[in-house]
Amino acid sequence: MGRIIVVNDKMQQGYRYELITPLGEGFHPDFKPQLTPKEMLELGVFGGKYMTDCVDEFPSDWFRNAKLSPLKSDPQLNHFKVRASQPLGEWIRKGWIHGDDPRGWFQWYCRYYMGRRSDREDALQIKRWKAMRRHVGQIAAHCRPGDEFCRPRQRQALLHWAYDSRKI
C-alpha cells in the first residue's frame, strides 16, 4: 500500500491521493455496500455518463463491461431504464459536493473502494449512504418482492448508492 494515484481528468488536474488499504477491503463497520463500483457500472448507473473521462484512474476491468455514454447521459443505459439522478449543479447547490470529490458520492465510493481513506469525508459519505436505506423500506412496503416494475426510479436511485435493489 502507499501507492499514489494522480488524477488528470476534466474536473481535476494534478489531484493526488494515497491508497492505504487493499482494494475492496478495510471498510468502516457501518459501511456495507451490496455492489462494487465495477458491478454498478456493469448494471448501468447515472445514464452511463458519470465516469467516461476517469478510466485511467481506476482498474481497467471496471470498464470492460461498463455501460457508458461518452456524449451525454442516456437513461436507457440505466438498469431500470429511467433517469434517477439530479444534475451535478443541483448537488452543488444543496451542498452535497465536498472537498476532493467534485463528482460526489460515487466518486468518493470508487476512491474509497480503491483504498483511499479520509476520516472526515468518509464519515460524511457513509452517513449519506446509510440515509438511503429509507428507500429500501419504502420499496419493501409498497412492492411485491422482486417486482422490478414497481418503483423503478427509486430502485435505480438505490443502485446509484450501491444497494442492490433488484433483490428487494
| pLDDT, tens digit (0-9, with 9 covering 90-100), for 68-111 | 998 899 999 999 999 998 777 787 888 878 779 999 999 999 99
- Decide if 145 is inside a domain: yes
**What residues make up the domain containing 78?**
33-103+119-167
- Decide if 108 is inside a domain: no
- Decide if 15 is inside a domain: no
- Decide if 28 is inside a domain: no
pTM listed for this prediction: 0.94
| Number of domains, the chain | 1
In three-state secondary structure terms, 92 is helix
CA separation for the pair 48, 50 (Å, rounded): 6
| pLDDT, tens digit (0-9, with 9 covering 90-100), for 9-61 | 999 999 999 999 999 999 999 999 999 999 999 999 999 988 789 889 999 99
